[in-house]
Amino acid sequence: LTVQVYDKDGRGLPTLRDPRSGEFKLDSQGGTLPATGDYRLRVVGVVTDAAGGPIGYTIRLNRTGLTETGYQAKLQSIILAFNAPETKNVDETIARLENLVDQDGSQPGGYELLGVMYLYHRSDLVKAAAAMENSIKFKGAAVFRVTHDPVLGRAPRKKPDGLYDWVEGRTSWLRIQPDQLSLADMSNEQETIFSLTGNQVREVAPSKVGTMTILSIKTPTQSKGYSLSPGTKSQGEADLILKMLRTYVPPRG
């Protein structure tokens, strides 16, 4: 008997037969299907009467997750739908991301975006933190939207309404990974404002200016460190950022 596998367009996929066990496997990287979709499995051959009756066989399917290409295609589809005004839907986006990590829980992209969605669109710190931990576990990052002043050391000023804010506020993405943190401009993520390893972090300290929470990141070579404020302006987010920094990029003095 021979096992044949065809994709939806009728293209055959290469298979190999183990001469000892008689098992057929896909002859592809990792022995996996190249993409999600419909496939046809055919078992062909001639069984003679001399074979002594029917031949039994089993089909075993091992779920190994999506290929990198398939995973990224699904993730980009979710992002595009969320960013399009006519299809922007928080509940649907979260549901699709949860389904993606259920299909393949070993890739960080879905968890990374779930952390952002739960934090900034659901104000759910518990679920956001859990998603961020999973993202870091699989070599992704915890991502936070923060504000800051491009001029190092310049303190926030008091506005006419009595609240404090940056003199020249800028919004950026803070990415936290084991022994690594970076800040990228939100309007141009290719513009990296800083990228630091654990050895370059001397101190991470919180402070208050009025009701505004400031997180100061100081390095051994700078007299004035980087000052950031959580995007939601909430103490809960500030505490979560501080926890992630101290856990994954602890100051080394």
- Examine the pLDDT at 53 and tell me if it is beyond 90: no
- H or E stretch at 235: helix 235-248
Identity of residue 138 = F
Whole-number pLDDT of residue 22: 82
- Examine the pLDDT at 51 and tell me if it is beyond 60: no
Other beta carbons within 10 angstroms of residue 124's beta carbon come to: 14
81: which 2 tokens? 């739908």
Q: How many CA atoms lie within 13 A of 169 on its CB side?
A: 13
pTM, whole model, 2 decimals?
0.78
Distance between CA atoms of residues 117 and 121, nearest Å = 5
**pLDDT winner (highest mean) among 7-21, 123-137, 150-164:** 123-137
Binning pLDDT at 50, 70 and 90, where does residue 87 land? Answer: confident
* Of 30-39, 108-117, 122-131, 191-200, the least confident: 30-39
Instruction: Specify the residue for token string 């000052």.
Output: 227
Which residues have C-beta within 8 Å of that of residue 58, sequence separation ≥ 6? none
pLDDT tens digits, 68-83: 888 899 999 999 999 9
Distance between CA atoms of residues 44 and 26, nearest Å = 16
DSSP-H helix ranges across 20-167? 68-83, 90-103, 108-121, 125-137
